[in-house]
Structures are given as structure tokens and as C-alpha cells.
Structure 1
Amino acid sequence: MLPDARRSALAGAAFAAALLCVVALLRGGLDLVFLAVALAAIPVAGLLGRRSERAPRSETGTTGPGRPAIAEALLANIPDPVILIDRRVVVIEANAAARALMPNLKLRHPLSFALRAPDVLDGIEEVLRSGQPLKTAYATRVPTERVFEVQIGALPMPAPNGGPAPAGAGQPNVVLFLRDLTSARRLETMRVDFVANASHELRTPLASLVGFIETLQGPARNDTSARERFLAIMLSQAQRMTRLIDDLLSLSRIELREHVVPTQVVDLGPIARQMVETQSALASERGVRIAFEAEAGRYPVLGERDELMRVVENLVENAVKYGGGTVRVGLARAQDDRRGAAQIELVVQDDGPGIAPEHIPRLTERFYRVDVASSRQQGGTGLGLAIVKHTLNRHRGRLTIESTVDAGTTVRVSLPAQEDGPP
């Protein structure tokens, strides 16, 4: 047992180090060197390895290990993943963010069991050899693409009891701090893509507007019938540009947050029913019948209501515009064949001309159209299914498209069921 004075000193050092970490976070970043210095001040073995130990209450009413417990709680709530490993690359400690990022991460297991990134593992070896900090990159592809900057630094570990260091204890251990750069990278990509796509797709309607304006200012200045005809076309082109810009902005916002899983529980049943009713007017104009089928009950999923409404709206609208005949919209509960998990399945089926097999893999690409002229005539922007795909990626769902020429198309959306949703 440590003397009370030393215990209080260690507790104070731990508490101060944790506060330094939090202050650094509030200042807008957590520098690796600062983190290493702060963590070095924490008696890690005494703080993390002796959690069950409790000191008696002092005369002032404050408990000795209260401060270490607070310090540990502060460190656990650092929003970025932090992992501490020893010289054998075995995990000593990891905060909640690290465990959420790497579900296979376990204490006293090699880091390579959970992190299969050659650049990071090679960087750890280099830090152990040289003792100098370095930075490298780490990217995940599943369930969504995320990019991290990994800061690796050497961290000497103190002896567990504050006494003489055991053999080999002076050798450096390693701390890994992962800074999430996904949002910054997505924002940069979004800006570049928006400029490229907008400039390409807006060129045609803008050229049409300029041509009609020049005609109205010149030869058709006093031609009433031509003016009315040209103004109607100009209005149509302006509306097309508005839809295009709205879809580009919507797609960019979704891609920017694609790696953030929704936490709100919503019922997909009322959303699907509302979107079917909304599209009924368009269906009546085109002589299309919409049938909605769903068993009684709730269909709870984790999601953003507005984004899921956009998914259903795009799928039903596509079926009405390009399918025809009878559009059947169904909602049912199912089981994931691969994982056995409960799923909510939305199916949109039409009796239209169908889609050739070579087009199906590319339908979710930006601006890809099976028939460019028909799509533009129908007011399509070529972004609807791209929005659906990225929205489902964020909601951890799947999109399946099946089609047979002259026999219709079936679009199937599967989302993880949330059985604990509110009534």
C-alpha cells in the first residue's frame, strides 16, 4: 500500500493530467506531444490496473481515489480514439471511441488482431526503435469509408507501485491517437465535385436560356406567339437548373455525413404511406395506378425522417415516370440471410419496359441515365438513385435492383430493424 501522501500526489497528478487533456481539446485539438506529456503524468498502472482499490475518506470528506476516477472518466470521454500499447504491441488500454471504431479491440491482445493496417503497424515499430513520434494515415472501408490521421508517440510507463522500475520497464510503450479527418476530406471532395458537376450539367440549360433571350431581343422582339413559346421553354430550363442544384446540394450534404450513423428511431410505415399519397397526383396524370401494401404494425428503423422520405419519394417517382402500368409499393419485415438480423424491407415494383442488364450496375452513379433524352424530358437530374444509395449507406441499408426487359423493374431497400423503438 502506498503512503497517503504519495497516493494523494499520484491522484493529483492524474487529475491534473486529465484536465490538461480536456483543456487541449477545448482549445481545438489534441497535439500528440501534449497528449504524451499529459498521459505520462498519469500513473497508468495505478489508475487503470487498480481500479477496485479505494482509499479511506479523509477528514475533509474527499476520497483519495475520487480524483483518479474523475481523471479516468475525463480520459474515457475524449471523443477521438486513443489506444495505449506496450512494447510487444499488446493493447494496455483503449477509450470508448477506440472500441467503437474497432469492435475486435481487446485488452491484453495484440493490436494486429483488431487493426490490420500495415502503415500503422510499421509506424509503431519505427517509434519503438527510434523513440521519435510520427504520423501516418489509416482508412476504413466498411461499413462506410472513413479516414484517420494516426499520431504515434513513445510513452515511458511508470512502475505500478511507484517504486523501482522492474526490468524492461524503462523501454518505451506507445500511444496511438486517431484524428478523424473524414468530414474534412468529404467537404473537400464535395466542393470539387460540386463545381465540376454543376459546371457540366448547367452548361446546356444556360446555353438554351442565352439563345432564347438573344432571340427575344432580336428577331422575335415583336412576335407575340414566339415570345410565349420561348418563355415557356425558358421557364422549363430554369426549373431544371433549380432541381439540379437542389439535388446536388442534397447529395453533397448526405455524402458529408455518410459516416455518421443516425440515432433517432422512426417508423417507416407512415413515411412510405405519405410518399405514395404524394405521388398519386403524378400517377393520375400519367395513367399509372399505385398500390400500397403493408401489414399492420410499426416498422421502426434508426434514421433521419427527411432523408428516408427522400429515398421513398425518389423510388416511387422513378417507378411512376419510367415504369408505368401498376406500381406496387410494399413494406414488410424480413430476416437478413447473411446475418440473421431482423430487417425492414421496402419494395417498389412496376410493369414498365424494364432495364437492360448492362445498365443496372451503373444506375446509382451520378448523372448516369439509361435514356438521356427521356430522362431530361421527364425532368430527371440523374441524381435520384445516387442520393438513394448514399442515404442507405448512412443508414447501413442495402439497395437491390432487379429488372427484366419488357417485364418491369423491382427495387428493394433493406434497413436494419430497431425493435426497441418508442411506441
Structure 2
Amino acid sequence: MTELGAEQKSTGQAVAARLWHSRWLLAAGVVAVLIAFGFAGFSAYVLVPALLLLPAAAILPVTGARHSAGNAAAIEAIGLQRLSGEYLAAAVADPLIIFDHAATIVHANAAAFAAFGGIAPGISLPLKFRAPEMQALLDSVLSGTVASDVVDYTEKLPVERAYRVSASSVGHGTDLYVLVFKDQSEARRIDRMRADFIANASHELRTPLASIAGFIETLRGPARNDPAAREQFLQIMQNQTGRMARLIDDLLSLSRLEMKPYLKPGTEVDLRQTVDSVIDSLGPLARENNVAIERDFAKGPLDVPGDRDELFQVFENLLENACKYGQSGGRVVVSIARGDDGSEPGIDVTIRDFGPGIPEEHIPRITERFYRIDVETSRTQKGTGLGLSIVKHILTRHNARLTIRSEVGKGAAFSVHLPAH
């Protein structure tokens, strides 16, 4: 009875508040009715009901809001009743396993089957996941020590995958629990790559800095009054600073490219004119290395969508490498052909040298940052170890691909396939 009275009192207060906030609306309504009564000559039988309806109109939104909230709650309850644990598990993109108080699998979604295989209702989780961290996770949740827990778990087969696994109970009194596996493999790979990159970049910068510091110390000491030694050391220092400048430029180029990896170029590039410009710019380097550059271009227009400056950088890197590392062959052939293979029509640009070639085991890793086949040869040729990484990033932005073919003793061919559209 007390609760009923409180509810009625609350409703009355709500109605009063609604009437107070609508006082100007009520006043306007009264005036409008009176004006209509005066001009139209309506009788009191019409006027009185009209005046009585105005407060009712102010109260209607309160009861309407309460009715709407009740409908929403009812709809939500009906919708949740239609859902099942199986449907909810199927909607989760990550591997998800539901198990009971005996650590027996009750249900696993499709992602769990794809990730782990051999999972079916009735299988024991401790037998499926034997890692100590998984055993401890199951024990802590099933014993009731904690309501939920998280561990890091690595699956070794068929390929190594790293997961962040969370376990928690489902509802109250259901005796059901859930495991969710969040794949962390890509994030950890990026972290390792970043750490390796920083370590390699630090090493590449530290070496010339140490060399410059040593020569400065020598010039200030024993070689202070030795003109010949001073000239030699200054030349070496200049070479080392040039090496650091090239490395920093390549690092900045790579950083800029990584900031916009999916920005697809929207302009047309004339490959014939671009490759001709690259060949002309590297003419002095080719003559210095006694290398003849030969052209073999297809006839007709050779236009592709892309960014001219970036494609220029791609072909400049590839042709410069061919002139430096394939100089023993005496010539480099640059060819442009239409690659109409049906599924991916486009244009292929191939730069082939006739030098010592690349051993097969190095080809899969040759586009990695700071990866070198021969460290001393690369440094002698003023390489930074980042050229092919820059090439790969630019081609990714252009939806293009790089193919490397090589045979030891017969040279190497780097082919760039650019889509025509």
C-alpha cells in the first residue's frame, strides 16, 4: 500500500511538473479557444470540453513516454530470448570455446575449428591445451578463485601463432565458462620487426660515427702536422658522412611510404618517358662501372596509373643495383613489354644484368630492411640495405608486384608488373 501511494505521488509530481513546464502552451491554447469562441460564436457546450482537453494534452507525453519505455523493454526481452549461445559464438570472429565445470568442451565456433582443429563437444580442454599457462588459467577459473583471467598462449602447430586468451564464467548458476583467443601474432611480428629495424639502423649509424670520431682524434693528435694523412682521413670522413646522409634519406623515404601504404595513386604515368629519364640520369654511373645500358621498349603508348616520382625511384634503385652489382657482365638490358596474361593485364618493366647473380636462398629475403647478401660488397658500393625495401613499399601502393629471377654466374632479372587499370 505504501509503494502504491509512493507511485501515485511520483506520477502526480510528474504530471504537475509537466503542466508547469507547459504553462505557456496552455495559456496560448486558452487564448486561441477564447478567440475562436468570440469570433465564431461557439456555445459553451463546445468551449468547456475544449478547455478541459488542454491539460490532458500536456499529460499525454508523460504516459506516452512510460508506454514507449515499456515496449522497448519488452522488445529487448523477446529479442534476447530468441538468441542462443551458438548464434552468439558464431558471430564472434575470434576463436571461442564454451566449456563446463568439468573442463569439457560444450561448443566451439567456426574460428576455433579453423585455428586448432580436432575440437568437438565432449573433448577435455586440459588434454587439448597442455601448456602450463593454459592449465593454470582453467584451474583458476573453474576453482572460483577469480571470475575471469587472461594469459598469453603460443600455439606451435601447424604454424606458430600467439594468442591472448581470456576465460570467464557465463551468467549466474549456469556452470558454463568461455575461452576467447585473441590473435596477437601480427602485432608481435610488427614489434619484432620494429625492434630489429631500430637495432639495425643504430648499428648502421654507429659504425660511420665511430670511424669519424676516431679520425678526428687522430687528426688532433699524431696526424696534426701530417698533410698527407690529414687529406686521406678527411676524404674517409667525407665518405662516411655521405653514407650516413644516404641512410637517413632512405630511412625518411621508407617512413613516409609506411605512413600512406594504402594511398593508391590516381594519375597516369608514361613509363617510356620515366624509364628513359632514369637511364639518362644513371648514365655517368654506368660509364664509371664500364656498363652499357640497352633499351628494349614495346611500341605504342605505355601508360599506367601511378605516381611518377615514386616509380622513378623504383626504377632508379633497380637500375643502380644492376650497374653496381652486375658490372662484371658489362651490360644491362632494360625492357618494357605488355604483360597481357588475361587475368591481370598490365605492363612489365624488367631490368636484367649479367653479373654474378643471386644465390637462390637469398631471394625470398632480399627485400627485407638491411638484408644484404654480402655486407662488405654492399658497403663498398655505398648501399644502405634499404633500397629494395623502398621498392617493395612503393609497388604495394601501386598494387604492383616484383618478381626476381636469378641464376648464379648468369646474372639476375628484376621484373616489375604494373596493372594497366
Q: Which residue of 2 aligns with 1:335?
A: 341
Query: Counterparts in 2 of 1:266-305, with a 5 A limit?
Result: 266=266, 269-270=269-270, 273-274=273-274, 276-287=276-287, 288-291=292-295, 293-294=297-298, 295-300=300-305
The whole-number CA distance in structure 1 between the counterparts of 2:383 and 2:66 is 72
Q: Which consecutive residues of structure 2, in runs of 5 or more, have no partner in the other structure?
A: 1-63, 95-107, 120-124, 130-137, 155-160
Query: Residue type matched to 1:88 in 2?
Result: E
The alignment partner of 2:86 has SS state of coil
Q: Which residue of 2 aligns with 1:320?
A: 323
The alignment partner of 2:270 has SS state of helix
Q: Which residue of 2 aligns with 1:88?
A: 86
Q: Which residue of 1 aligns with 2:209?
A: 206
> Could you give the per-residue CA deviations for residues 185-240 of structure 1, whole angstroms, max 9, x where no partner exists?
73x44652243112322343223212321222123323334333322221111110
Query: Counterparts in 2 of 1:227-306, with a 5 A limit?
Result: 227-251=230-254, 262-266=262-266, 269-270=269-270, 273-274=273-274, 276-287=276-287, 288-291=292-295, 293-294=297-298, 295-300=300-305
* TM-score, length of structure 2 as denominator length: 0.54
Over the aligned positions, Cα root-mean-square deviation in angstroms equals: 5.3
How much has 1:272 moved relative to structure 2? 7.2
Contact 2:322 2:332 in 1 (8 A): no
How much has 1:44 moved relative to structure 2? 9.9
The answer to which of 304-313 and 319-328 deviates more is: 304-313
The aligned length equals: 316
The whole-number CA distance in structure 2 between the counterparts of 1:193 and 1:216 is 35
Q: Which residue of 1 aligns with 2:385?
A: 382
Higher-RCO chain (CA-CA 8 Å, sequence separation at least 6): 1
Q: Which has the larger radius of gyration?
A: 2
Give the counterpart of 2:110 among 95, 102, 112. Answer: 112
Structure 2 CA distance for partners of 1:263 and 1:371, relative to 1, 3 Å: closer
In the alignment, is residue 404 of structure 1 matched against residue 407 of structure 2?
A: yes
> Could you give the per-residue CA deviations for residues 275-304 of structure 1, whole angstroms, max 9, x where no partner exists?
551452323342232526254153236xx7
Query: Counterparts in 2 of 1:19-418, with a 5 A limit?
Result: 43=76, 86-89=84-87, 112=110, 116-118=114-116, 186=190, 188-189=191-192, 191-251=194-254, 262-266=262-266, 269-270=269-270, 273-274=273-274, 276-287=276-287, 288-291=292-295, 293-294=297-298, 295-300=300-305, 308-324=311-327, 325-335=331-341, 340-392=343-395, 397-415=400-418, 417=419
The alignment partner of 1:402 has SS state of strand
Q: Which consecutive residues of structure 1, in runs of 5 or more, have no partner in the other structure?
A: 14-40, 50-84, 102-109, 140-145, 157-169
Structure 2 CA distance for partners of 1:9 and 1:308, relative to 1, 3 Å: farther
Structure 2 CA distance for partners of 1:46 and 1:363, relative to 1, 3 Å: same
> Could you give the per-residue CA deviations for residues 99-150 of structure 1, whole angstroms, max 9, x where no partner exists?
xx9xxxxxxxx9517983349x999xx9xx99x77768899xxxxxx99979
Contact 2:359 2:408 in 1 (8 A): yes
Contact 1:403 1:410 in 2 (8 A): yes
Contact 1:266 1:305 in 2 (8 A): no
How much has 1:184 moved relative to structure 2? 9.2
Structure 2 CA distance for partners of 1:343 and 1:232, relative to 1, 3 Å: same
The whole-number CA distance in structure 1 between the counterparts of 2:309 and 2:112 is 35
Q: Which residue of 2 aligns with 1:161?
A: none
Contact 1:326 1:350 in 2 (8 A): yes
Contact 2:296 2:336 in 1 (8 A): yes
The sequence identity of aligned pairs, in percent, is 43
Contact 1:289 1:327 in 2 (8 A): yes
Contact 2:152 2:164 in 1 (8 A): yes
The whole-number CA distance in structure 1 between the counterparts of 2:244 and 2:237 is 11
> Could you give the per-residue CA deviations for residues 133-169 of structure 1, whole angstroms, max 9, x where no partner exists?
7768899xxxxxx99979898999xxxxxxxxxxxxx
